[in-house]
Amino acid sequence: MTGPLVVLAFFCLFAGFLGWPHSLGGKNRFERFLEPVFAKEAHVFAAEGEAGQLAAGTKEEEHTSGTEYFLMFLSVGAAVVGWGMAWRAYRHADKGYAEPIAQKVPPIYGVLYNKYYVDEGYDYAFTGRHKIGRVRLGAMGLGEASSWFDSRVIDGTVNGAGWITRLTATLSTWWDKWIIDGVGVNGPAILARMLSYPTRLLQWGLVQWYALVMVVGLVGFVAYYTWH
């Protein structure tokens, strides 16, 4: 933190010389540096002729008036008075020093010490690093809300659609296997096979078997008529 303070202190001491006014004998280099920016306005004063010169003279007179000197000394005087007040207040300060305003008006001191709570308000409202109760605002709050919406709504909808698709496919497979194939196609075939089973025991489709049955039947008839 020391480095930035050194840079700021340097420019506070010397950067003002770039705009040293003509009224104090300076050349105002910063104004000359910006002349190209305002070059487009030069033709306006040239076209106005004498009126433009009068306006420029009036403007120059305003720059060298006593008001400018008064404002210069007023700003420097305010800085000197502030420095003197600070020196008087903190010249005997040590580790146990307490601000008088902190003892007399603690709420005002708290507001000033915390820089009007600008950083805290920024963290609450914009970055979202601090929660308001259980609610987080700002960029982090928006990120959390987007994450919740994505996981609960978007992903929930996608997962729900997938679950419904799997359930439909399972029911379709079960219906095709047990109802269509089982009852409608395989059922009649199984029933026909069961009803034809006794007949198939006698009808093998072999000529030798049929001949054997005929011989056995013929022997049976002969034996029956012989004994009776």
> 32-36, 56-60, 100-104, 212-216: which has the minimum mean pLDDT?
56-60
Q: Which amino acid is at 18?
A: L
Residues in the chain: 228
- What are residue 64's phi and psi, to 5 degrees? -105, 15
Higher pLDDT, 31 or 135: 135
pLDDT for the residue 91: 79
Residue 61: pLDDT over 50: no
Tens of pLDDT along 172-189?
Answer: 999 998 888 888 888 888
Return mean pLDDT, the chain.
80
- What are residue 113's phi and psi, to 5 degrees? -65, -35
| % helix, strand, coil for the chain, step of 5 | 85, 0, 15
Higher pLDDT, 224 or 45: 224
pLDDT for the residue 88: 83
Taking the domains of the chain in order of start, what are their residue ranges?
14-82, 203-228
pLDDT for the residue 96: 72
Q: Give the three-state DSSP class for 132.
A: strand
Q: Which of 17-26, 94-103, 118-127, 164-173 has maximum average pLDDT? A: 164-173
CA distance 172 to 179: 10
pLDDT for the residue 41: 63
Q: Which amino acid is at 28?
A: N
pLDDT for the residue 46: 59
Closest CA to 21 of 61, 63, 59, 53: 63
Tens of pLDDT along 65-92?
Answer: 678 788 889 999 999 999 998 888 777 7
Stretch 49-53: mean pLDDT, rounded?
51
Tens of pLDDT along 11-42?
Answer: 888 887 777 777 777 777 777 777 777 776 66
